[in-house]
Structure 1
Amino acid sequence: MEDVDDSDTKPFPTKTSIPPFWRSELDPLDEYRSTESLPTTCDVLIIGGGYAGIAAAYHLLCGDKYEPGTKPSVVLVEARQACSGATARNGSNTQPPFDLLSVLISCDLGGHLKPSVYGRLPDYIERFGSATAANVADFEWKHIDAIAEVIKKEGIECDFEIVRTFNVYTDREQALKAKNAYLKLKSLGIAKETINDLVWTDEDKAQEVSGFKDCVGCFASRAATLWPYKLMMGLLSKAVGQGLNLQTNTPASSIDRELGPNGGKRWKVTTARGPISASKIIFATNGYTSALLPEYENKIIPARGIACHITLPPGTEAPKLPGSYGILLPRAWDYLNQRPDGSIIVGGARPTFFAQDSEWKNNVDDNTLIDPAAHYFDTYMQRHFVGWENSGAHVESIWTGIMGYNSDGLPRVGQVPGREGCFIAAGFGGHGMPVIWLVMKSLTEMVRYGKKFEQTAVPNIYKTTKERLESTEDRLNSQ
């Protein structure tokens, strides 16, 4: 791949961005560089300093112990500040569900660790079979306890809380189809732990249970809420303490194959601060992937979303919501999470801009708002939630973020086809919180131990393959 000078030609991160609420309390590592100069070589180079990149660094350096003298040199380069992309922005999941009428919406965003596989299972069963669908469900479900365990182990303060989360419906036909899909899944007896945790409430009690106006049916299930930036920076600190060389504000512009000093092949990565070569590269680049790996163009598509922070007037006590939310409105699915201080994170606003591709699709501009959605969240709580009518709740800040959607609706994980030593975990479709942590644990086992993808715990449908790269399937544009 040739060097790129014009950042407008490929989906590279913008130099500046709208500050999101999650980055209102910056960590000392936010713009940290472990060494003044960028190292010229390393064993493993991680490109991308969000959830996936930080998780990779943590699993590589803070997981299984190394024999003396065998720990690899690991460098992480991030184009902007640490955890300044989607992980600390949590844009809207604007990708249409594949079956809008039966899906239980996917919304792990907004500081939301929410396994959301129930609505996806019918589609997965049809495409891949019940065993694979159950594997995906179980894989996501394990993330709540896995994240809780590492937070406790490392003593990270990030407002982590186990909650009940609601998927609420305002259309009776949609609610009925969602309920019937759930009952069918339950009758099949797959993914029992996840399905059995799900509780459906009919219209007569739905508004009372959920607190959402005009709710005609809702599900409740187990989830968690947290401050994603604080979690990631806590993990990053542990990795730096174990030898990670962190280099922020170091955008990579190209990769090339080169011969190493002993004749072996290595990868040369050109950055704004000079080149660095590595035996292995982990691409944790999500929506920006095709800027460095052109084979993923039109496969992993950058997608812009929008979210906001809603507060109340000083001295006003916020009504306590019974949980977090995925909200299915006509042609929309929003997500909402109440903070410990009573303020609200809410995102979505899809109906205002989804028909205008230029506003979100293949758009990496998180330095401006999505104009049609700029006022979508005004009086949001008053309009939709019981007891908030006279609260004075208002938008305190609003921002955009860039996600990575896949043409076939599935993440891409594993060794990059045709690029030995290059590994990828990207394209999480706005649903990375209950997927990435264990994906990266397995990916680092591939990097460290030479495991094959099939020897890891990652669902087989996530494997990045030549066949998927050559496929003409386009589930995003077919909606």
Structure 2
Amino acid sequence: MPSNSNRSKFPVPHALPSYWRKQVGPIDRHRSTPRLPSSADIVVVGAGYVGASLAYHLVEESARCGRKVPEIVVLEAREACSGATGRNGGHLKPDPLLRAASVLSTHGKEVAEHVASFEARQIGAIKALVKREDVDCDFEETRVVDVCLYKKGKEKIKADLERVVDADISTARDIGYSEDREAEQVSGVRGAKSCLTYDAARLWPYRLVTHLLEKAVSLGVNLQTYTPVTSVSPAATDAKDHRWLVTTPRSTIKTSIVIYATNGYTSALVPEMKDKIVPVKGIVARLVGKYAPRLTDSYMMRISDYEYDYMIPRPDGSVIVGGAKRDFFRNLNDWFDNSDDSSLIKGARRYFDGYMQRHFYGWEKSDVRTEDVWTGIMGYSNDGFPYVGPAPGRPGQYLCAGFSGHGMPQIFFSAKAIASMIVTGDTENVDLPVPYRISPARWSQPKEHVSLKLWREIVESEPVRATL
């Protein structure tokens, strides 16, 4: 089997620029102090959506509990929001069906409801945050048109929908369903076998994150960009005011609490996460054209068991499309256990050329073309759920990572749960679904990675497909 074991698991320099990062703010390379503090109450590793949400919630939760805001240092290896959040598709899209159906089988109705509603409620939370903080991030509520283009997928979706409806999972109540000719009419997609519609949102993710960071910094949080953490090690056994030494090329910070907001890079600092949170490389593009129809809804395109694209329209008429697995999925080294976002996956750009013309009625003669293509590193967990909570055997350390390319509707509340655990000391009574929590068994027991298992099944069962 292909192996990427010799690749660095740390962020690489000179990452490809993304569309979202073409206009960066003053916080992008911010350092709150010229030198690193020698100690802090809390060190957050990572300044993406997770790190920014943690800083925001730690301040908010401290104020809510009437406690002094702790000394918080946020360390980022590169620029602020330069990882997955600054490179994604801009989709705030909960999964109201498929994950709930899966959890219904493994954990029962109560947990399935929590998992589904946990994601759905984050649309309203971000909407309220954007309004309250006056965040300029192009936030829009929308409907997702979730299109399935293959028979096997249609049958599974229909069966799952019947199961979650029968179980009265709340998120299923607002799902629209159509199939065959009606699905083509509803979606405008050629060859649609079925179509779901449900609520979601879209936004400019970089602007949301940098606003949260700016707010945190204004309230005393110390942000240090271009400060990669190279190791976290135990302090001297007689240390009374700290447990951990957080080492960077600039200096070392003493602290009692470390939170890993490191997603795909987590195993570089937490070896126990090797094979549990794996860096996965993805591709996103921006399509533009002067003479093209305008999309109003966001989309999911389910092409096969492993091919699924997503897209959002932008206010300027351009379309963001992510996915393109057709042309690189079989080449495992190109995407799995790959933390290099400084180059594109070979041939990926060709996938987006003519994308709208291939799939959508009315776009056949449009002049839509590929304007930008970029890549990003996601953190895919071995069981499909993020690792959120205290790290077993590492007192004072917490993880909030492994969102498997689906972080936008999970991260804000996951970070809030971590903040509540730290400020109140209660790790149990927080709003966090059971499958997200880090049990000793989940931490220590080996489990074949779901992405690797799917790859093996596809490679062994399908003939090689020609690429366009």
TM-score range, shorter chain: over 0.9
| Amino acid paired to 1:328 | R
Matches within 5 A, 1:184-203: 184-189=163-168, 191-192=169-170, 194-203=171-180
Does residue 213 of the first structure (1) align with residue 190 of the second (2)? yes
Bigger Cα displacement from structure 2, 125-134 vs 14-23: 125-134
**Structure 2 counterpart of 1:44:** 42
Whether the aligned pair in 2 keeps the contact of 1:117 and 1:136 (CA below 8 Å) is no
Whether the aligned pair in 2 keeps the contact of 1:62 and 1:238 (CA below 8 Å) is no
**Structure 1 counterpart of 2:434:** 460
Q: Deviations 1:140-170 (Å, cap 9, x if unpaired)?
A: 1101001101111100010000001011012
Q: Deviations 1:171-228 (Å, cap 9, x if unpaired)?
A: 2342233123202220122x22x10110001222212211212212100000001000
Does residue 329 of the first structure (1) align with residue 303 of the second (2)? yes
Whether the aligned pair in 2 keeps the contact of 1:283 and 1:425 (CA below 8 Å) is yes
Give the count of matched residue pairs. Answer: 448
- Once the 2 structures are TM-superposed, how far is the Cα of residue 66 of structure 1 from its aligned partner? 6.8
Q: 1:352 to 1:324 in 2, by over 3 A?
A: same
| TM-score normalized with structure 2 length | 0.92
Q: Which residue, out of 28, 31, 54, partners 1:30? A: 28
| Amino acid paired to 1:171 | Y
Counterparts of 2:245 and 2:7, CA distance in 1: 21
Task: Specify which structure has the higher proportion of helix.
Answer: 2
Counterparts of 2:422 and 2:20, CA distance in 1: 31
Structure 2 gaps of 5+ residues are 455-468
Bigger Cα displacement from structure 2, 178-187 vs 218-227: 178-187
Matches within 5 A, 1:281-430: 281-312=258-289, 316-330=290-304, 331-430=306-405
**Structure 1 counterpart of 2:111:** 132
SS at match of 1:334: strand
Q: Deviations 1:117-149 (Å, cap 9, x if unpaired)?
A: 411222212211221111101111101001101
Q: 1:208 to 1:408 in 2, by over 3 A?
A: same
**Structure 2 counterpart of 1:176:** 155
Counterparts of 1:304 and 1:362, CA distance in 2: 8
Q: Deviations 1:419-472 (Å, cap 9, x if unpaired)?
A: 1100110000000011110011110011112111x2100001111122112222
Whether the aligned pair in 2 keeps the contact of 1:58 and 1:238 (CA below 8 Å) is yes
Q: 1:59 to 1:67 in 2, by over 3 A?
A: closer
Whether the aligned pair in 1 keeps the contact of 2:230 and 2:269 (CA below 8 Å) is yes
Bigger Cα displacement from structure 2, 297-306 vs 329-338: 329-338
- Once the 2 structures are TM-superposed, how far is the Cα of residue 351 of structure 1 from its aligned partner? 1.8
| TM-score normalized with structure 1 length | 0.90
**Structure 2 counterpart of 1:106:** none
- Give the percent of matched residue pairs that are identical in Structure 1 and Structure 2: 41
Q: 1:383 to 1:55 in 2, by over 3 A?
A: same
- Once the 2 structures are TM-superposed, how far is the Cα of residue 301 of structure 1 from its aligned partner? 0.6
Q: Deviations 1:304-358 (Å, cap 9, x if unpaired)?
A: 010111111xxx2431214101101135110111101110100101121111111
SS at match of 2:20: helix
Structure 1 gaps of 5+ residues are 1-6, 91-109
Counterparts of 2:65 and 2:298, CA distance in 1: 44
Q: 1:69 to 1:161 in 2, by over 3 A?
A: closer
Q: 1:67 to 1:357 in 2, by over 3 A?
A: closer
Whether the aligned pair in 1 keeps the contact of 2:242 and 2:254 (CA below 8 Å) is no
**Structure 1 counterpart of 2:181:** 204
**Structure 2 counterpart of 1:94:** none
Matches within 5 A, 1:46-125: 46-65=44-63, 70-90=68-88, 110-125=89-104
**Structure 2 counterpart of 1:255:** 232
**Structure 1 counterpart of 2:245:** 268
Matches within 5 A, 1:143-182: 143-182=122-161
Q: Deviations 1:232-273 (Å, cap 9, x if unpaired)?
A: 111111111101111000000001111499634421011021
